[in-house]
Amino acid sequence: MPPSKLKLYIEIAKTVNDHGPLSVYDLASFLKVNPSSLNEPVKFLNDQRIIREKSCNSIATYIITERGAGILKFFNVQPLIKV
């Protein structure tokens, strides 16, 4: 059974927090999924200001935002968040 959207969103935010800044391809590598399957969830998280895009050498990378750190803390995923 595929993971729920909420679980995927939390995993993306946690991975970006732990290893960011990450491109979609790096993120897919950490999560062991197809990069094209992350386009919609990453766009959603970016639109919700949970992660934000940071341009790096013309490659879009993503970092966690303060709001994203708060959400991870709410779900007790990461008690000590680095922003």
Q: How many CA atoms lie within 13 A of 78 on its CB side?
A: 21
Query: How much is the pLDDT for 76?
Result: 76
Give the rounded distance of the alpha carbon of 74 from its chain centre: 16
Query: How much is the pLDDT for 70?
Result: 92
pTM value is: 0.84
Query: How much is the pLDDT for 20?
Result: 78
Q: How many CB atoms lie within 10 A of CB 69?
A: 18
Q: How far apart (Å, rounded) are the C-alpha atoms in residues 11 and 68?
A: 12
Domain spans of the chain, in order of start: 5-74
Query: How much is the pLDDT for 57?
Result: 76
**Statement: 5-74 belongs to CATH 1.10.1040.50:** no
* pLDDT tens, residue order, the chain (83 aa): 566 898 899 999 999 999 979 999 999 999 999 999 999 999 999 999 999 998 767 888 999 999 999 999 888 765 555 55
Q: How many CA atoms lie within 13 A of 37 on its CB side?
A: 13
Pick from 10, 3, 35: nearest CA to 22: 35
